[in-house]
Amino acid sequence: MFYKVKVKDYIRVSPDKFKDNLDEALVQEIKAKYDGHISTELGTVIDVSGVDTVRDGVIIPGDGAVFYETEFSILTFIPEMQEVVLGRVKDIADFGAFMNLGPAEGMIHISQTMNDFVSFNKEKTLAGKDTKRVLKVGDGCRARIVSISFKDLSNPKIGLTMRQDGLGKDEWANEPAPAKSSKKGKEKEE
């Protein structure tokens, strides 16, 4: 989910930026500090949308820079469990597909790509045995977030599924649901 979040922080403005407009210098410093920042609280920071409040600056002896207590707004992406996301297949491996979600990337295990027996082939596609559905690099898809891990903040892990109704490749949404095979036994005659 995308959020606009207000943040309060002390922003360091170096002496070489004293000649610049204060708001522009603060935005540059905030962007340098926060753009692409990933944390469990803020998710992935996409952009600084503006400076709201700037308090008087404080000079720290021996540093020469001024630290301004600043309130500013950022645009951030925080993945949430069970959220439905749109994305594009970035890569396919023998164990599943990687989906670009914009500011983040998710992984769909091969068993979660469709309600069918799925096989991987050398053309880097995943194909359903009974449904004949094919998933390839570049396909637009809809998936649900089923796991999130910020264990490695430089590379958060997002697990996805496309096995539920309404999920999967964009073209699959317009197709009728595949019929489930059922084997009927012969009725016992009396």
Task: Please give the single-letter amino acid code of residue 156.
Answer: P
pTM, entire model? 0.74
Q: Using one digit for the tens of pLDDT, what is the confidence trace for 27-72?
A: 999 999 988 888 888 888 998 888 999 999 898 888 889 999 999 9
pLDDT tens for each residue of 105-128: 999 999 999 988 999 988 899 998
**Check whether domain 2-77 has CATH 3.30.1490.120, yes or no:** yes
Residue pair 114/131 in contact by the 8 Å Cβ criterion: yes
Name the architecture of domain 84-174.
Beta Barrel (2.40)
Provide the residue ranges of all domains of the chain, joining segments of one domain with +: 2-77, 84-174
In a 13 Å sphere around the CA of 89, the CA atoms on its Cβ side amount to 25
